A and B are shown apart, each in its own frame.
Chain A
Amino acid sequence: MEKEIKILRKRRGEKNSYWQSFMYSSDSENDTVATALKRLNNSERLIDIGGRETSKIQWQCSCLQKKCGACAMRINKVPRLACDTVLKDIKEKVVVLEPLKKFPVIEDLIVDRSIMFENLKRLKIWLNEEAANDGTEDAYEASRCLQCGCCLEVCPNFISDGKFAGMSAGTLTARLLSECSDAQKKEISDIYKKNIYAGCGKSLSCYGICPAGIDIEHLLVKSNAIAVWKHRR
């Protein structure tokens, strides 16, 4: 298998980005974008398609089995995980890699997603009292969120310095709503209503984008029922 991999690169501290292409060839049919990036970087000299030696491609990865969300990037314009994208499944001739656009680029494919974690702190996403433990299935589904940022990338309502924290905060709020004691329900419902419900345009553009396959629609429906419409859990 041979593929051209075209990467939008940016040197640390510099303003302008530039495109650089690499040829990647492998005997394995199962190689993912993550494998390709690892192998390219592990070669003794990294040579681009024009025969020029270049610096290593900067990107983030960790688990390589779609359980940590580190390697989220735009692959042929779709935000997804590099470790979950098999090269041979990409129909286009060229594999185009870009950093996520909703976050500041640090270098090459590395973006600073700290706003996601700042938002969680701002929204007070935690339990102040012991969990009531009656929302096991929903809590399980919500707890699977990788905080990778793919859902924010496609969200028409999320901007990184805006008030709406996006579905990556919505999942964790859903966890709290399904687990919290009655005493904490109002407080968490208010957080949900103000920061998730009010900001979400219900476009559901995030549906089907989640690399973990979280049933986002279900979590929204359940959270609305608890926090907005005050149905029973």
Chain B
Amino acid sequence: MKTITIIGAGLAGLSAAITAAQQGIHCILVSAQSSERAQSVLAEGGINAALNTKGEKDSPREHFEDTMKGGCCLADKNAVKGLTENAPDIVNWLRNLGVPFALDGSELDLRNFGGQKKKRTVFAKSSTGKMVMTAMIDEARKFEAENLIERLCHHEFKELIIENGECIGCLVVDTYTNQMQSLYGEVILATGGLNGLFGEATTGTTQNTGNAAAAVFRQGVEMGNLEMIQYHPTTMQISGKRMLISEAARGEGGRLYVLKNGEIWYFMEQLYSTWGNLAPRDVISREMAQVTLRDECGEQVYLDMRELSENIWKNKLSDLRDEIIHYKGIDPMKEPVPVEPGIHYFMGGILVNKNHQTNIDGLYAAGECTCQYHGANRLGGNSMLGAIYGGKIAALSAIEHKESTNPVGKTEEQEKETAADGVTDKYMQSALKQGLGIVRDEKSITEAIDEIETLKSKYPQNDKLILASAMLTSAKERKESRGAHYRSDFTEIKEEYQKTTVAKYVDGRIDISFRKID
């Protein structure tokens, strides 16, 4: 009997597990903590689908075009086509699972989101991720009771088992007992973004360590577009992390301003008359970095939500308001909120084709850990969609994978002492932040690479340093500005770089190449 191992129990992992179970396929769902602790519960603003409930003549075709354009033509067209065409079905499926999406009459309500002209984002206030997760966890439980989904909670991924170039399983460790276990069969990685490489500078969770991605990179799994890191325009510093203020704040009418010669200046509205405050995230974050450097402008950007109606606060953003009051002591109904761009999403990651296969036979990946759908910049509302759709496709592909003659099931392994990360992380995070800011140049990237190389020579066992180096080298080799990757020394977009940056670890060194996109 086929068994698929899924690493990560957030949206992508749950989607893969439910899809496999629906087909009667047994899967093992491995996660360090329960699904309730996954980063997916933090997703806020909504999920995109061209449902056209607002009489705006929206269509999956336009959703496709906006996604491609938002990603600066760096995503796989065929994959994005699948994503956007399937979006309405996915949202309807979620509705049937009981996700309490906002309604407008009997139809699903839609809100505006960045980089999209039409209302296309289905939402549940500003807690859409949590609502979707609760419903999907309940759905998965149904299959757990049938033993089709077998959960291995408090387990962490260690490495792939690769034989003759094929992934035949993986090694996981029980964090309660340190007992190692081999799980045989196809593997789907759904391990989330690479937040751990940047420490407290991101809006993500501490559980998204990047350890799994680092381990598989060392084992020869190709990574794509690692330099593409999304800085979300509206984040705030709270104790120990950046906290996101959802794009829904601007979707519902919030405006960004800076003080210019002491006067309020809604710079996005003046500088980008077409998009205003709902330009794609890369555009706004870059503009925020630039206006605050001007002599006539102040250093702080504010999000002004004072004009939003009471109805919007009550019915669409009450949770967001509570959060800002709780963490900052600022009531956004009455006062503007100081905001800064913060690291929010990784467009790059494990490189997969439109079937979510990696370069290693038998290994699949889905969700934020992958490079797929979002190109050089992700549109708000496309992350949850990408995770759910990606998880589904990955599972279907893994099911189709040829029957292997390799062992199936589990074996217990010798207990192994796990190497502690130690304080290396702190130095690595600091170097990456220096090299991979909103604005980059050869000098800052090269300095960061040198720092990482020094750390690597001291700690040769730390896989994350290799991945960090690959990330920086990808940024160095892409000598243009595109989407989230802005180089002050190469400010133009160049056609020759309309390709995927492929990073691969070969014979102990990092190889970077540019590959034509399908």
Chain A positions near chain B (C-beta within 8 angstroms): 12, 28, 30-32, 34-35, 38, 42, 44, 60-65, 67-70, 83, 86, 106-107, 112-114, 117, 120-121, 124-128, 130-131, 133, 135-137, 139-140, 143-147, 172, 175-176, 179-180
Give 8 A-B pairs besides A35-B240, A38-B240, A67-B130 with Cβ atoms closer than 8 angstroms.
A28-B239, A42-B426, A60-B33, A64-B241, A68-B41, A124-B145, A131-B97, A133-B103
Contact B176 A145 (CB under 8 A): no
Closest Cβ neighbor of B134 among chain A residues: A143
Nearest B residue to A146 by beta-carbon distance?
B36
Q: Is the CB of B239 within 8 A of A106?
A: no
Task: Give per-residue flags for B345-381: 1 if the beta carbon is below 8 A from chain A beta carbons, else 0.
Answer: 0000000000000000000000000000000000000
Within 8 A of A (CB), among B381-416: none
B100 close to A139 (CB less than 8 A) = yes
For the residues of A in contact with B, the DSSP-based class is loop
- Check B97 against A127 for contact (C-beta < 8 Å): yes
Chain B hits for A70, CB < 8 A: 33, 37, 207
Chain B residues with CB below 8 A from A30, complex form: 238-239
When C-beta atoms are compared, the residue in chain B nearest to A172 turns out to be B138
Q: Contacts A125-B138, A136-B103: A34 and B37 contacting too (C-beta < 8 A)?
A: no
Q: In the bound complex, do residue A125 and residue B37 qualify as a contact, i.e. CB atoms below 8 Å apart?
A: no
User: What does the 1/0 interface line of B113-140 toward A look like (CB < 8 Å)?
Assistant: 0000000000011010011001100110
Closest CB in chain B relative to A117 CB, distance in Å: 6
A62 CA to B34 CA in the complex, in Å? Answer: 11
Q: Known interface pairs A61-B206, A139-B100, A175-B134. Does A68 touch B238 (Cβ–Cβ under 8 Å)?
A: no
Q: Is there an interface contact between A32 and B98, defined as CB atoms closer than 8 Å? A: no
A124 CA to B143 CA in the complex, in Å?
11
**Chain B residues near A62 (CB-CB < 8 A):** 33, 37-39, 205-207
Asked if B238 and A130 sit within 8 Å, CB to CB, the answer is no
Q: Which residues of B contact A (CB under 8 A)?
A: 33-34, 36-39, 41-42, 95-103, 124-125, 127, 130-131, 134-135, 138-139, 141-142, 144-145, 151, 153-154, 176, 205-207, 238-241, 243, 323, 327, 423, 426
* In the bound complex, CA of A221 to CA of B134 (Å): 21
Docked Cα-Cα span, A55 to B206, in Å, equals 20
B95–A133 CB distance below 8 A:
yes
Cross-chain pairs A/B with CB under 8 angstroms, 14 sampled: A28-B239, A35-B239, A62-B33, A62-B205, A65-B327, A67-B41, A70-B33, A117-B151, A121-B144, A126-B139, A127-B138, A131-B97, A136-B101, A143-B135
Contact A143 B130 (CB under 8 A): yes
Closest Cβ neighbor of B131 among chain A residues:
A143
Which of A63, A86, A130 is within 8 Å of B205, CB to CB? A63
Interface majority SS on B: helix, strand, loop or mixed? mixed
Residues of chain A within 8 A (CB-CB) of B139 are 126-127
Q: How many Å lie between the Cα of A63 and that of B203 in the bound state?
A: 9
Contact A69 B36 (CB under 8 A): yes
A139 CA to B450 CA in the complex, in Å? 52
B98: which A residues are within 8 A, CB to CB? 127, 131, 133, 139, 175-176, 179-180
Interface pair B176/A68, CB less than 8 Å apart: no
Partner of A121, one of B134, B141, B238: B141
List A contacts of B238 (CB < 8 A).
Answer: 30, 64-65
Which A residues are in CB contact (< 8 Å) with B144? 121
B97 / chain A contacts, CB cutoff of 8 Å: 127, 131
Known: A131-B95, A139-B100, A144-B127. A64 touches B240 (CB 8 A): yes
Q: Which of A34, A63, A83, A135 contacts B41 (CB 8 A)?
A: A63
- Say whether B37 contacts A63, CB under 8 Å: yes
Are B100 and A143 closer than 8 Å at their CB atoms? yes
Asked, given contacts A67-B42, A145-B134, whether A126 binds B206 with beta carbons under 8 Å apart, the answer is: no
User: In the assembled complex, how far is the CB of residue A165 from the closest CB belonging to chain B, in whole angstroms?
Assistant: 13
Name the residue on A nearest B95 (C-beta).
A133
Q: What A residues does B205 contact at CB under 8 A?
A: 62-64, 68
Chain A residues with Cβ under 8 A from B206's Cβ?
A: 38, 61-62, 64
Residues of B within 8 A of A125 (CB): 138, 141
Whole-angstrom distance between the alpha carbons of A124 and B33 in the complex? 21
Min CB distance B22 to A, Å, is 14
Contact A140 B131 (CB under 8 A): yes
A52 to B151, alpha carbons, bound, how many Å? 39
- Set of chain A residues within 8 Å of B39, measured between Cβ atoms: 62-63
Q: A126–B103 Cα gap in the complex (Å)?
A: 23
Cβ-neighbour of A42 out of B36, B130, B423 (below 8 A): B423
Question: Residues of A contacting B142 with CB < 8 Å?
Answer: 126, 128
Q: Give the complex CA separation of A135 and B131 in angstroms.
A: 13
B-chain residues with CB within 8 Å of residue A179 when the two chains form the complex: 98, 100
Q: Do A144 and B423 touch across chains, with their CB atoms under 8 A apart?
A: no
Which 4 interchain pairs have the tightest Cβ spacing?
A131-B98, A179-B98, A143-B134, A139-B100
Q: Could you say which residues of chain A place their CB within 8 Å of the CB of B138?
A: 125-127, 172, 175-176
